[in-house]
Every structure is written in structure tokens, then in C-alpha cells.
Structure 1
Amino acid sequence: MLRPSPLVDQAVRHLRERIAAGDWPVGSRLPGETALARELGVGRSTVREAIRALAGAGLVRTRQGAGVFVVATEPVEDFATRLRRASVADVYEIRLMVEIRAAELAAERRTDADLAAMDARLAARREAEASGDDTAFIDADIALHVAVVAAAHNPVLSDLFTTFVPVLRDGLLDLAKLIDVHTADANGHAAHAALVEAIRDRSPAEAGRIIRAELERTLHHLVHIS
């Protein structure tokens, strides 16, 4: 029998342990709510909440009229959870692929409104750089990159990059504690200005080359401090 509070968490842990131990193999049906409630010493509503949690973790699936079936012995992580566990260097390698293509597409598809947004973000980045505030500088830098990705006019690409932003921000803030990001970014403003100009000039190859060099430089710092 489970101890009081939090009963749902204890029920989830107990059921996960039994599934992992093979008591209910993949493909088998769990006992009904009443039987599980009796086994755990809790109410059926607690069992119901525990089953919902197991379904959310990808361990079980409810089949209407047939019951609850085991579909996996280990929880399935969603992409956001996996990203939070990933090293910032790993995320940066994916960022390279995403942003190089985004810059190329931006050079092909940018509008006047996109250019105005990038110019404003570039100016804000320069201002934040001059302020000496690491957090403001990193946020301004990311905002410029978000504007470049948005200029690619691919909503899936934009959504994908948006999922990276919290991990990138945390990684860059950690980097700022170990190195002087302003010194490391000595040529950063010129490179970012050149990127915006390449997009303005509709030069995909040049935009891709610039963003690759810039991101690889930051990746080099990340790899050597990890």
C-alpha cells in the first residue's frame, strides 16, 4: 500500500517500476482501475491520474473499450526535454545547419520589412555591446539571429530555431562567466553587419559563408571550455 501524499506521484513511480521490471510486457493490458486501486491502496481517481501521466510519458496507451496497454518500457522524451539535457555545443552544431540555410533563404526571400527589422536589431546589438552588459548583449545578439531566421519565411524553420533559443541563451550566459564575450566578439559587429548586407544584396552564398564563420568561431570557444 502506498503512503499518503503525493499519492499520484507514488502511484506513477510504482507502475513505472513494474512496467520496467517486465511485470507487464509491451503489448500486455494493465489490470483495471479497480484492481490497481486495490493493489495500491488508493482511490480510482488516483489511478486514473497515474495512467494519464504514464500515457503522457509514452509508456501506455488507452484503447477505447479494450483497456490500457503497455507500449514502451522507457519514457519517451519530447524534443524540448531532450534539448534541455543536451550540451550547448551539441545544440550549436545543429544551430549551424539551421542558420546557414536560413541565411541563404533570407537572402533570396527578404522583404523591405525584414531588412528594417534586421537593421534595427543590428543597431540594438551594437548599442548593447557598447553598454558592457553581457546579458543585454547576448539577448540583442540572439534577437538579430531570430530576425535573420524570420526573413527566410519558413515557419517550420522559425519554430525550430525558437526551441533552441532558451538553451542557446543559457549556454552563452555560461560562456560569458568564463571568457570576456566582448573581447571574443572583437570582429562580431563587422561580421553581423556584413551578414545583413549580404542578405540585402540577395547573396545567399555570401550570407551562408559569413554565418558559418561566425557560428564556428563561437562553437570553438564552447568546445574548448566544456
Structure 2
Amino acid sequence: MPALRPSPLAEQAAAQIEERIRSGEWPVGGKLPGEVALAKELGVGRSTVREALRTLAAAGMVHARQGSGVFVTADRPSAGDDWATRLRAAELAHIYEVRTMVEVQAARLAAERRTAADLAAVDAALAARRAAGGAKDADFVEADIALHTAIVAAAHNPVLDDLFAQFAPILREHLVELVGLFGLREGDPNQGYDTHAELVRALHAGDPAEAGRVLAAELEATRARLLAS
């Protein structure tokens, strides 16, 4: 299988896994290969595989069983006007209102529940976001979403994981447009780095109130910009 290429990797990974489920290679009721094996086959990192699996779980195609692995539950996404379809039809300002509800609580929980491994993953994602300052807008947004994904994962709440997995692809699409539309990186290729670093420090300090405050202010600033445009 050829390695995947940007962008975005998680969506491509989810599409390839879905295709192989549909083909019967991984039948309903069967167990998917582990994260390490999937990452190697798809040519992506384990965090990308996790995001792809969360997307498929939200679509009702797979289900993770604690301590047992991820199992196939359907050979196609749930039919009808699903959550992802409704998100794509919604106004971005409304999406940001709900995103704030989800992510601010996730940040608070992450500050309480984060493990050493979670902090290492968040630190690595923050460093990758900073390194993407010299990259094109799409790659910068990809790095930003990866950081937020790592923070949500540190909350250790699978429902929040699934909710954010539904938001991520839509956010990615819109954020690439917004960065260009508002010129957000003009004069500051690492736009928002200081705020994100402050958020990560709050996680390290185990300060839920501060983590929630910093992220709420960051997301509200973007929502206000959207409403004013």
C-alpha cells in the first residue's frame, strides 16, 4: 500500500481503512490491526491513526473495546443526515460556539487527568506547531489541529474524543480559508503560539481553571472575528 501524503492525513487514513472494511478485508465483527501495524501500513504516525479511528467510530463503523482492541461494527457509515453533514451545513460562528463548549471542558479535564505520556505528546505537538511556522497555511493548520487533538486526548474521555474527531475535518477546511482570508499569519507565521504555550503550561501545572480560561479566550477571539467579518 502506498504511504499517505498530506493533506489532511487523518481523513486519508480513515478513507483507506473504510475502503478495506468495505472490501471485506476487515469484516464486520473482526478486529483491526493494532495502531502500530496500521501506522506502518498507512505510512503515518500513531496519532493520525487514532484520529482516523475516532472518525470511523463516530460514523458507527468501528468500536474500541478497552484492553481488547478496535473491532469492525459496520461496513459503511451510518446513513442519513449525520452529525458531520450537519456540521458542514452550519455557520462557522455556530460551530465555534459548540467547539468552545467541547474543547474548554476537555482542557479542564486534561489539566486534571493528564499523564506523563500525555504531557510528552502535548509538548511534541506544540513543538511541531512552532516548527510549522515556516510552512504553508494548510500544514500550519494541520499542526494546530494536532495540538488540540492531543489536548482533548489527555482528557481521557472517549465521548469528547469522538466529538472532536467530528469537528476536526470541518475545522481544518475552514481554518485554512480563515488564515488566508484574515491574513492571520502576516507578520507572525506562528500566530497564536504564545497563547498555546500558555495553555500547555497550565496543563503541566495541573490548573483546570487556567487551562479553561486560556482556551476560552483564544476561541472567543476567533468567534468574535468571524462575527465582525
TM-score, normalised by the number of residues in structure 1: 0.63
Is the aligned partner of 1:182 residue 2:185?
yes
Is the aligned partner of 1:134 residue 2:137?
yes
Give the aligned residue type for 1:121.
Answer: A
Provide the rounded CA distance (Å) in 2 between the counterparts of 1:183 and 1:222.
18
Note the residue ranges of structure 1 that are not aligned, 5 or more in a row. 1-74
Measured on the aligned residues, the alpha-carbon RMSD in Å equals: 1.8
User: What's the counterpart of residue 46 of structure 2?
Assistant: none
Deviation at 1:184, TM superposition (A): 8.6
Could you give the per-residue CA deviations for residues 162-193 of structure 1, whole angstroms, max 9, x where no partner exists? 10011111111121231212149676111111
Is the aligned partner of 1:79 residue 2:68?
no
User: What's the counterpart of residue 198 of structure 2?
Assistant: 194
User: What's the counterpart of residue 99 of structure 1?
Assistant: 103
Deviation at 1:149, TM superposition (A): 0.3
CA contact (8 A) 2:137 2:180 kept: no
Provide the rounded CA distance (Å) in 1 between the counterparts of 2:187 and 2:169.
21
Provide the rounded CA distance (Å) in 2 between the counterparts of 1:142 and 1:181.
16
Give the aligned residue type for 1:146.
Answer: T
Deviation at 1:132, TM superposition (A): 4.4
Provide the rounded CA distance (Å) in 2 between the counterparts of 1:214 and 1:183.
18
User: Structure 1 residues 149, 100: closer, same or farther in 2, change over 3 A?
Assistant: same
User: What's the counterpart of residue 173 of structure 1?
Assistant: 176
Aligned positions of 1:134-173 closer than 5 A: 134-173=137-176
Provide the rounded CA distance (Å) in 1 between the counterparts of 2:128 and 2:182.
22
